[in-house]
Amino acid sequence: MCSATRLAIRCAEHARLESEFIEARDRMRGLVRLRKLEPGEERQLAVRVAMAIARLKEHVAEHGCERQG
Vertex 55: Cα angle to 53 and 60 (nearest 5): 95
Q: Which pTM was predicted?
A: 0.76
The pLDDT tens digits for 22-69 are 999 999 999 999 999 999 999 999 999 999 999 999 999 988 876 654
Q: Are the C-beta atoms of residues 2 and 63 closer than 8 Å to each other?
A: no
How many alpha carbons lie under 13 Å from residue 16 in its C-beta half-sphere? 5
Q: Is 11 helix (H, G, I), strand (E, B) or coil?
A: coil
Domain boundaries of the chain, sorted by first residue:
9-68
User: Phi then psi for 9, rounded to 5 degrees?
Assistant: -120, 135
